[in-house]
């Protein structure tokens, strides 16, 4: 399998629009594409999936670890022609003020070339100097440039100067196309399933890409990704049934997490919005999403609220992240929710937590033993207001990766865990194994 990485100097440069257009154009030409997103992002990944008509994965050195990230590539199907990776943030932007875990570092680890998407902003030749600085620092990792939001005349002028002074091939451009650009929301891009006419817009975008971008040169720049070997998970039982909440309210899942769950049992999807009962299962997995946008509908589904509450009271195992955790509280704003945790979720006007975190387990439970170390990330605009901690006292000490900031989160009631951290099971295999083996007791 061959692959390539698309990156940009900063967020808001149009990476997702350009990358999705290229993916759809290649798909329409008959190529089978496996898309990936670097970093912990769930939302941009949704556009890549729709563009490729194929599930997208994540690549993240912090969340998955060096070996786990490489193993994530092993989930690519054998019939795939190309792996197209979209970078996160700026190309060299990593943890804190370093390029650790940046798209640059991830691309180097995998061994793929990079195409730089550059959007000039009130500049002409200055753009050439900026591109040259990024190319030189990358020491050969950037092999091509695509200009975004430029006219054909602007492109022709810049192309000559970039190729003369920087020495990399300029592969084409996209003009400003407001009707085809992906709009943003407080936590990133609007979820792909919310966008009307997304599929037809991607086809229009692909038609434009074919006219203005040199797709064959992009394919020529793709280099071979070494075959990765997936390590098996050593668990006591492999015929489990896992119920996964998946609908418009709960849509944040890492493909790798779902694949690992499928390796130990059968995954059954259900909707807290529309289903009236739970599937017969050993474990409930409630991922993240935007439950606050659907709080009225979630609150009105009394049958589902009661079914989950009863499942927990009887000792059923539940693993809930961020949006799933919000749903398990007594209320989101004024709307009643499941009520397993005796707190209320209040939405705020700004991010409460954002970024990578290092986690220490403060008590032994079905996630692991006291003192176990885990990695995750948080991004949310809500606060958990605890009315009566009791059995729901926090079980984790959390430290901001690269900083000294510390706080507490993670709550346990019987065999129900909920908290704001998002986890990749690829980088927390001990925790994953503990959870699965606990289900056999």
Measure the CA–CA gap between 195 and 216, rounded to whole angstroms.
30
Measure the CA–CA gap between 260 and 426, rounded to whole angstroms.
8
Report H helices in 264-418: 295-300, 302-313, 323-327
DSSP 253-290: --HHHHHHHHTTEEEEEE-TTT-SS--S-SEEEE-EE-
* Backbone torsions φ then ψ of 127, nearest 5 degrees: -60, -35
Number of residues that make up the chain: 441
* Backbone torsions φ then ψ of 418, nearest 5 degrees: -145, 145
Q: Which among 83, 222, 281, 322 is annotated as catalytic?
A: 322
- Minimal CA–CA distance to 49: which of 16, 14, 79? 16
Beta bridge partners of 170: 145
Containing 178, the helix (H) or strand (E) segment is none
Beta bridge partners of 245: 270, 286
- Does the annotation count 322 as an active-site position? yes
Neighbours of 78 (CB within 10 A): 6
DSSP 225-255: PPPPPPPPP--S---EEEEEE-SSSEEE--H
Measure the CA–CA gap between 42 and 412, rounded to whole angstroms.
25
Question: 345-350: which pairs have CB atoms within 8 A and are 24 or more residues apart?
Answer: 345/292, 345/382, 345/383, 345/384, 345/385, 346/382, 346/383, 346/385, 347/292, 347/381, 347/382, 348/381, 348/382, 348/383, 349/381, 350/381
C-alpha dihedral over 294, 299, 302, 308, to 10 degrees? 80
C-alpha dihedral over 115, 121, 124, 125, to 10 degrees? -60
Report H helices in 29-166: 43-52, 61-72, 103-110, 125-137, 152-165
Neighbours of 321 (CB within 10 A): 25
Q: Which residues are catalytic?
A: 322
């Amino acid at each position: 399998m061959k692959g390539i990485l698309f990156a940009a100097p900063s967020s808001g440069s149009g990476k997702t629009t350009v990358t999705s257009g290229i993916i759809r154009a290649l798909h329409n030409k008959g190529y089978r594409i496996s898309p990936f997103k670097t970093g912990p992002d769930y939302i941009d990944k949704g556009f890549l999936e729709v563009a490729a008509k194929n599930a997208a994965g994540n690549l993240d050195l912090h969340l998955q670890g060096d070996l786990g990230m490489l193993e994530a590539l092993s989930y690519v199907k054998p019939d795939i022609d190309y792996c197209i990776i979209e970078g996160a943030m700026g190309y060299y932007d990593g943890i804190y003020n370093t390029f650790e875990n940046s798209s640059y570092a991830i691309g180097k680890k995998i061994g793929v070339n990079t195409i730089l998407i550059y959007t000039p902003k009130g500049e002409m030749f200055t753009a050439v100097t900026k591109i040259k600085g990024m190319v030189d620092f990358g020491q050969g990792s950037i092999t091509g440039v695509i200009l975004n939001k430029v006219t054909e005349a602007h492109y022709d002028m810049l192309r000559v100067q970039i190729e003369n002074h920087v020495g990399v091939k300029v592969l084409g451009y996209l003009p400003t196309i407001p009707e085809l650009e992906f709009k943003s929301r407080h936590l990133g891009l609007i979820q792909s399933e919310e966008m009307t006419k997304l599929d037809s817009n991607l086809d229009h975008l692909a038609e434009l890409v074919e006219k203005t971008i040199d797709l064959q040169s992009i394919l020529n720049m793709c280099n071979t990704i070494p075959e990765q070997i997936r390590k098996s998970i050593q668990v006591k039982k492999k015929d489990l049934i896992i119920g996964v909440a998946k609908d418009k309210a709960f849509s944040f899942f890492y493909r790798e997490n779902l694949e690992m769950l499928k390796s130990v049992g059968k995954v059954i999807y259900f909707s807290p919005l529309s289903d009236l009962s739970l599937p017969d299962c050993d474990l409930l997995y409630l991922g993240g999403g935007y439950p606050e946008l659907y709080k009225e509908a979630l609150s009105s589904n009394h049958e589902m609220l009661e079914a989950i509450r009863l499942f927990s009271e009887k000792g059923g195992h539940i693993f809930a992240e961020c949006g799933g955790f919000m749903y398990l509280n007594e209320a989101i704003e004024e709307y009643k929710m499941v009520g397993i945790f005796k707190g209320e979720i209040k939405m705020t006007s700004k991010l409460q937590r954002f970024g990578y975190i290092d986690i220490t387990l403060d008590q032994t439970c079905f996630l692991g033993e006291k003192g176990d170390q885990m990695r995750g990330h948080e991004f949310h605009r809500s606060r958990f207001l605890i009315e009566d901690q009791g059995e729901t006292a926090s079980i984790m000490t959390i430290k901001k990766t690269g900083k000294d900031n510390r706080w507490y989160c993670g709550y346990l009631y019987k065999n129900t865990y909920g908290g704001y951290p998002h986890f990749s099971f690829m980088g927390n295999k001990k925790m994953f194994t503990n959870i699965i083996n606990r289900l056999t007791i």
